[in-house]
Amino acid sequence: MAEPGTCIIVGVGPGLGAAVARRFAAAGHPVALAARNADKLAPIVEDIATAGGRARAYACDGTEEADVIALCDAAEADLGPMGVAVYNASGRARGPIAETTLADFVDAWRRSCLGGFLLGREAARRLVQGGRGSILFTGATASMKGYPHSATFAVGKFGLRALAESMARELHPQGIHVAHFNIDGGIGEDGGDARLRPDAIAETYYQVHAQHRSAWSHHVEVRPWVENF
């Protein structure tokens, strides 16, 4: 059996990104954690190392092509060939459409959608060569519904879902599993059953990655059991 490939995660914070990193590291994947400020990732890297895993932090602006290419090159050089790519970043600017600036709109789209394209493309270039691996995209309720005062988020997340669907149709026959996750609810440890636990979402990500290719999922919805939908 092949060694678990490096898991590269763009958009890592203390919540879902950290939970995904810990879950894949626990399964034996070396993990590359990327954020604009790499210093804040040190506690997550330390936690993974303490648990016996391998992880490194990288500074990366996921909306910049050169940064994403450099991240993938460095992570593969440091940790080994890529096996999984996770795009977990997003951006939004709340407010009435009449008050939304061009800069706000473009910035939200770049962080929610363009960055997904950049990481997804680089992952595809690398994974297709070996004919195996996964590319996972973090969506949201806004991937499916555009809410008032949230046009910037909806456009970015709708676009990311479209990207994932197109990539899945192209790459599944080449052995690359592409999946999009609709995180339908608030994430957090507080709030009792009304919020999605980061570690529980991360487990779903890992199980989708581990699926046999005869029964791959593409669009996966996760929500608290008490959530209306």
pLDDT tens digit sequence for 69-79? 999 999 999 99
Is the CATH code 3.90.245.10 the one for domain 6-222?
no
pLDDT at 45: 97
pLDDT at 125: 97
pLDDT at 159: 97
Q: Decide: 153 and 89 in contact? Cβ < 8 Å.
A: no
Partners of residue 179 on adjacent β-strands: 136
pLDDT at 30: 98
Q: Decide: 56 and 78 in contact? Cβ < 8 Å.
A: yes
pLDDT at 190: 79
pLDDT at 72: 98
Q: Which residues have C-beta within 8 Å of that of residue 227, sequence separation ≥ 6?
A: 184, 185, 194
Domain ranges of the chain: 6-222
pLDDT at 158: 97
Residues in the chain: 229
Q: Render 101-146 in DSSP notation, one character per residue.
A: -HHHHHHHHIIIIIHHHHHHHHHHHHHHHHT--EEEEEEEGGGT--
Q: Decide: 56 and 128 in contact? Cβ < 8 Å.
A: no
Parts of the chain with a pLDDT under 70 = 1-2
pLDDT at 227: 87
Nearest partner of 63 among 89, 45, 81, 82, judged by Cα: 89
